[in-house]
Amino acid sequence: MIDEPLERLRAAARRTRELALNRAGTGLGHEDADDDVGTIGTDGALGFDPFPLLEALHRHGVRAVVIGQVAGIMHGSAELTGDLDLLWDGEPVHAPALAAAFMSVDARLSDETGTPMATHPDALLRPKVQFTAPGASGDCCTPALPWGDLRVREILGRAVTAHGPGGLEVHYVSREDLIRMRRAMGRPKDLRRAAELDSDPGSTGIEDCSARPRPASKPGP
């Protein structure tokens, strides 16, 4: 038995892979995504499949909460994405299991400047690290990352859980908190996606946004 949010995510990831097969590589990674199109317009969409990493996190007992557009898709957002963003509590006692989960899927870590780092528990204690794994890349954040006035630890506590085959549990941010996080970030894609979730809580469509005009503004993280 698989919960509907995970069915949505599987369908969206499959659609992302299908769309990416029909286009040339961009040379852009998830950190190069612009503020409007998002990572669906980068090479992160090529072969996008977040499930191997999500399953590894579950196997290693890591309570990492899915945020960003993967969480949006799980809540019914119509926009596709090419990255997986995670939030965990940043407690040193939990870092070894998180590092083990990343190592089990051959993930590589880098800091916010893109400088490679060893996949070691201490590296994961930074407010944000970037990871690249087969099938998914993205950011892994702790509550130490500035989020304006948001109380991020409370957001972690309010996360919801979807269940999949074999007892799989995927934790993801609540709809209300995801909307708050979107508005706190304030980029065009965040505001658009916040408005979508706020106005149409039943949305389950899938849209390709890779053809949106790319703005001249500097790409965000």
pLDDT range class, residue 201, cuts 50, 70, 90: low
pLDDT at 124: 97
Over residues 2-31, the mean pLDDT reads 90
Rounded CA gap, 139 and 129, in Å? 6
Class of domain 4-199 (CATH, top level): alpha beta
pLDDT at 103: 98
pLDDT range class, residue 137, cuts 50, 70, 90: very high
Q: Give the pairing of strands 169-172 and 160-163.
A: antiparallel
Q: List the one residue out of 86, 82, 84 whose CA is nearest residue 98.
A: 86
pLDDT at 33: 79
- Tell me the whole-structure pTM to 2 decimals: 0.88
Q: Can you give the C-alpha Rg of the chain in angstroms?
A: 16
Rounded CA gap, 9 and 23, in Å? 22
Rounded CA gap, 211 and 221, in Å? 20
Tokens in use for 215? 């703005």
- ∠ CA 177-216-34, nearest 5°, is 35
Contact 16, 80 (CB under 8 A): yes
Rounded CA gap, 209 and 216, in Å? 17
pLDDT at 216: 30
Q: Which of 27-31, 147-151, 168-172 has the highest mean pLDDT?
A: 168-172
Tokens in use for 14? 């499959």
Least confident of 5-14, 27-36, 134-143: 27-36
pLDDT at 140: 98
